[in-house]
Structure 1
Amino acid sequence: MTQDPASTGDPPTFPHKPLDLQKYIPSPIQPSSKASERLHQQCLDLLAEVDELQSLLKSSLRNPQLVEVRQFRSNVTSELKMLQKLEQRFQSAASTSESQTKVQRESQSQDQDQDHDSDGDGEAGEDDDSVDMRLMHALRSSNLPFYQAVWDIARGSCYGLLALGKRFYWDGQVKDSSEKEKSASKTTSKKGGGKQPNKDKRKSVFVDIVADDGEEWVKVSTMSESRLLFEMAKKGWERDSEDECMSDEGSDGPRRRTVLRNFDGSDYEEDDDEDELELIKLARDLRKAADATRLRYRHPRLRVVLPKIGEGNVPEIDDILHEMRSYGVKVECQETLSIAAGAKKPELTCLLPRPFKRFTATLNVDCTLLLALVSDLSHAKEIVTLPSFHRAILRQIEVEKQQPLLQTELWPAMGEHELLCTNEAAIRMREIVELIGTDTEKERTKIMMGDPPYARLDRQIAVQKFQELSDWQVPTHWQLPIKAIDPQPAITAAKTEGKIPPVADRVAEGLSDINHSVFMYGWVTGMTTISSNRTIDKQIETTIETNRGTDEDLEGPMVWICDTARSLAGKEKDRKA
């Protein structure tokens, strides 16, 4: 981040009221190699914490790359190299100065009558001061304080981290952020956001922290009060009052609005950013990008953190903060952060993604996962490959060796939730197992679905029976059997009573009978559907977004998509069942 410009000349004043800007100008840092050493150590400490997070991600997630931290770490590493060079230059300058002083003293002792020796001392001193000033300027220009602020805010106030640095675009077309994540992962820029193909970078905003599993964007600005006030003066901003009245959110009546402006007349264009204040432009750009992005049918929440700016001290600054909040942005200043600073930092585990946070008490299990739960590929630690195996099965075997599906994804997702499925999903699953399943896959199906001879088994006994057919430790709290229900009464009732939006008819047109039963049942009951059918999930989202119209609150079914699927081991090489 760029540093505050040095002040020159008389301090600027505002038409509304003269301001004493001197008290907002930070005291200059005295040249010292100790400052370089201190920043160097802080950078090492920050890097160690980031490495600790990356290790935690690798040990906890099937795909650690889903959390974008690598570019942030690269930026901190680059900063460390710069600080190391500065420290070496400080040490070298100090050594050179000491040598010069020794030589000059020897010269003075040999000929004290030569006045030019004294002059030489002055010139050497000026050279030393010049070197120190240049080195300290480089030191004060370090980006480390900004990176440290981003990290501290992420650790201190964020959960479910998805990225430390990511660019989001707006172009009038709403895109789901999961699609953006895939695109961004292929084209990563130096700053970690990754410019998307055919995207105008001018129509974008760089978000420092993507948290709450994508639902919150956090922007950190280390701009100081003095820099903000100088910027306002430079761009001719003034405080003015209009007769226009506005109502604050949650207030009982209207109030007079304070307007900041740097223009006269009515020819001001909304998109003209030339004279716009940096913080106002930031809030506006965040709003544009958020309005063009939806995650599971919702726009992300916006938060801007200003650790070097206080609220309630300068009216002009308070007006800027109020203007930022008018864009639906939550603004936090140093007062809020000072309170939080006294609290103990949460454990790094709080930054792990929380994909199951919105799960309902009962989960609706799709046919794709019913098959994965009984497949030999999911339960055998060592699988002998056969010539008859389809290439898709061979790929799944390799993936399973790296990250066992049940242990790392499905059983954690299911937890202690009650499990059910639609009759159509259960029937289709049994048909596939009966047609191509192995003997062990057929036996697991009977236990899991409560089919004879296991229809009346106690849950704990059913889990024990299932354990006999698995190389993995089956969770004792797994809710067996999975109950099959008829979804049609609930779907029909929702349509009759108008409890489902009209766009549901459009969604239903593109679904097969089984997918209609699974996803529509989850929608009308408000139940979370878990599936590995990413194609259908995206199809539903696209249909809803295309037909959203002016309904900003329209939402489709809650669906959680499993990262990978598992076929039955008995699947023949060329069969497409």
Structure 2
Amino acid sequence: MNLPIRSNGPEQEASTRSPTPNGNIAAQSHPLSFLQGSGSAEVLLERCQGLWNEIETFRDQLKRRHREQTVEMSHYRGVVRSELKNLERLAGKQREAREQREAEKQAQKGGDEANGHAKVPVSTDGDHAGQLLDESEDELPNQQIASSNLPFLESVWNSAKATSGLIAMQKRFYYGEDVDRKTVPRGVKFRRRRGSQSHLVKTGKALVDVVAADGLEWIKVSLVTNHRMIMDKAREGWVEDSSDEDDSDEENIKSPADDPDGDIPIVKMGEAMLQASKEVRIRTKYPTVRMILPKVVEGELPQIDKIINRLRTKGIVVECNPQAVASRSLESVLERMITDPYANFTPTLNIDCTILLGLVSDFSHSEVESEPWFHRALKRQVEIEDKEALLPNSLYPAIVGRKLVCTAEAAKRMGEIVDTIGTPGEKVRTGLFMGSVDETEYSEEVRQERRARLAECSKFDVPQDLRLPITIVDKDDVDASGLPAVAPKVKETLTAINQSVFMYGWSTGYTTITSNRTVVKGIENVLDKHAKNEHDWPKIWLCPTARSLVGKEKGRRE
């Protein structure tokens, strides 16, 4: 796959030429050279534009797959955008200063030649003062260039490209005991709870640079060095005794505090992430916390090794390896970064009533205009369908090539709804999608005929591997004795029709697909409290959007 990498906009073309006057582009070609920064704003600007282009290319790919809502990266993207604007400004200043100095040299040279004198390279106090003035004018921009945050932003992006199932970048998590938000000091960020406990907040917070593995891996990147960590220890009151004549049994490194390393920034960041991770559980698992420290060298200083070992002892995975943030092409990792929602579907899918309605709805197959009698939910479906067509973007990719079944209860309920409020088109499509208990009576010729007839009453092409019709099954034909001990607790929270659908899918091991968010959330809540491990969970896929029948005005009013 060849990705159409975003190109520089016209406003950046002039500032990203190569090579640059003050930077060696060839020196930047090493995959880890970005960790060193650069003294040239134009070199940094070119690198930042490349980073921005990759981020935008990644977002384009998410949009093409209709997955842009699954990766939260607006904060990180905003930080990169700000850095890009800052580097554009600094590159402009650096370029103007260079051009001004060149113009002054040319003017001075022209004046000397006009007077008939050649310029003599004699240093005078006035010349020295002018040189100092030039240096003082350049000092602030140079300091800003040297302190650019770009190497860190590149390291975070490279870390994200090394993961699978990317969920978020630079996401803040809150943890700790609930406190009354009225007691929180002004300026302290917190997470406000909803509902009856909205007055309670959590003030502990941890910023995670990369959330991957579908939420089960949290990564923090830091470009801290050994020297910086020693300076951090010194600020906390540590003193190193370098005397070789000290024969006492006391350690060379001392601190008055009970927890000497507890306030060192790298320790605080890691342990805050670890505490926050204990409050996030995904299918009985807690996220793994990983810290990437590419500039830290182990084995050189005992003080540094002690800090690293402290983090590892607490369960944090620490990598002190520059290769952990090595650059890699986006094209080579894209399929791994973006989660495939259908990858773990079973060959047979159990379809619930909400999906059955979405498969036959006029909203899904026809150009529906909002009617005056539409209530808010129907008007919203018109808007969503215009932007995100359900069938080609979600349902057809989920169900094609797989055997489709539904319980008799779901089929009956769906039929009742269609008979009551369905339009003529919705009733025709229901007859095409729904089959009978005995699947063997349908030949491939009959299936092909149904697909052809469906195409006649739909604005979308019908996939050739769509296996029509849906087979109706009897839930009582399945042995539920093998379900985990938590199953009865889940069952008692479900209505009769939802019991037939979800317990059938659970008993058979089939993936159940639904757009009933409320039911799925209720099942997850029970499992979060009572499931022993992730194997206790049923296979359920929640379709990100739902469609009801358009129906008839009279039928809906009744």
TM-score, normalization: structure 2?
Answer: 0.76
Rounded to whole Å, the distance in 2 between the matches of 1:56 and 1:344 is 11
Aligned-pair CA distance for 1:199: 7.8
Q: How does 1:139-288 map to 2 (within 5 A)?
A: 139-155=145-161, 157-171=162-176, 202-235=203-236, 275-288=262-275
Amino acid at match of 1:430: G
Q: Does 1:45 align with 2:50?
A: yes
Amino acid at match of 2:474: D
Q: How does 1:328-347 map to 2 (within 5 A)?
A: 328-334=315-321, 336-337=323-324, 341=327, 346-347=332-333
CA 1:223/1:29 → structure 2, altered by over 3 Å: closer, same or farther? closer
Deviations 1:509-561 (A, max 9, x none): 3211011222233334443221111011112222333556xx57685433221
CA 1:528/1:135 → structure 2, altered by over 3 Å: closer, same or farther? same
Aligned-pair CA distance for 1:453: 11
CA 1:297/1:110 → structure 2, altered by over 3 Å: closer, same or farther? same
Deviations 1:55-109 (A, max 9, x none): 2222321x63442233322222211221122222223333444566678786998
Aligned-pair CA distance for 1:196: 5.0
Rounded to whole Å, the distance in 2 between the matches of 1:59 and 1:556 is 31
Amino acid at match of 2:357: L
Number of the residue aligned with 2:485: 501
Number of the residue aligned with 1:23: none
Amino acid at match of 1:39: L
Q: Secondary structure at the match of 2:461?
A: coil
Q: Does 1:367 align with 2:368?
A: no
Number of the residue aligned with 2:79: 75
Q: Does 1:441 align with 2:426?
A: yes
CA 1:331/1:346 → structure 2, altered by over 3 Å: closer, same or farther? farther
CA 1:552/1:327 → structure 2, altered by over 3 Å: closer, same or farther? farther
Q: Does 1:131 align with 2:137?
A: yes
Aligned-pair CA distance for 1:120: 1.6
Number of the residue aligned with 1:406: 391
Rounded to whole Å, the distance in 2 between the matches of 1:360 and 1:260 is 62
Aligned-pair CA distance for 1:406: 0.9
Q: Secondary structure at the match of 2:463?
A: coil
CA 1:234/1:453 → structure 2, altered by over 3 Å: closer, same or farther? closer
Q: Is the 2:174–2:190 Cα contact (8 Å) retained in structure 1?
A: no
Q: Secondary structure at the match of 2:168?
A: coil
CA 1:364/1:332 → structure 2, altered by over 3 Å: closer, same or farther? farther
Number of the residue aligned with 2:523: 540
Rounded to whole Å, the distance in 1 between the matches of 2:418 and 2:256 is 75
Number of the residue aligned with 1:557: 538
Q: Is the 2:436–2:471 Cα contact (8 Å) retained in structure 1?
A: no
Amino acid at match of 1:476: Q
Amino acid at match of 1:37: E
Matched length: 492
Match of 2:344 among 358, 368, 374: 358
Rounded to whole Å, the distance in 2 between the matches of 1:365 and 1:262 is 66
Rounded to whole Å, the distance in 1 between the matches of 2:541 and 2:375 is 27
TM-score, normalization: structure 1?
Answer: 0.73
Aligned-pair CA distance for 1:459: 4.5
Aligned-pair CA distance for 1:413: 1.7
Q: How does 1:353-432 map to 2 (within 5 A)?
A: 353-380=339-366, 382-383=367-368, 391-432=376-417
Q: Does 1:450 align with 2:435?
A: yes
Amino acid at match of 2:128: G
Number of the residue aligned with 2:95: 91
Amino acid at match of 2:484: I
Rounded to whole Å, the distance in 1 between the matches of 2:498 and 2:281 is 24
Q: Is the 2:190–2:203 Cα contact (8 Å) retained in structure 1?
A: no
Can you give the 5+ residue segments of structure 2 that lack an aligned partner in the other structure?
Answer: 1-32, 179-188, 194-198, 241-250
Match of 2:493 among 504, 510, 513: 510
Match of 2:126 among 111, 120, 131: 120
Amino acid at match of 2:154: Q
Aligned-pair CA distance for 1:38: 0.4
Percentage identity across paired residues of the two chains: 37
Rounded to whole Å, the distance in 1 between the matches of 2:335 and 2:37 is 39
Number of the residue aligned with 1:566: 547
Q: Secondary structure at the match of 2:441?
A: coil
Match of 2:465 among 477, 481, 490: 477
Aligned-pair CA distance for 1:122: 1.7
Rounded to whole Å, the distance in 2 between the matches of 1:535 and 1:475 is 30
CA 1:344/1:162 → structure 2, altered by over 3 Å: closer, same or farther? closer
Amino acid at match of 2:149: N
CA 1:576/1:537 → structure 2, altered by over 3 Å: closer, same or farther? farther
CA 1:492/1:91 → structure 2, altered by over 3 Å: closer, same or farther? closer
Q: Is the 1:31–1:133 Cα contact (8 Å) retained in structure 2?
A: no
Aligned-pair CA distance for 1:368: 0.8
Can you give the 5+ residue segments of structure 1 that lack an aligned partner in the other structure?
Answer: 1-25, 174-192, 240-258
Number of the residue aligned with 2:6: none
Number of the residue aligned with 1:18: none
Aligned-pair CA distance for 1:424: 1.8
Number of the residue aligned with 1:327: 314
Aligned-pair CA distance for 1:37: 1.1
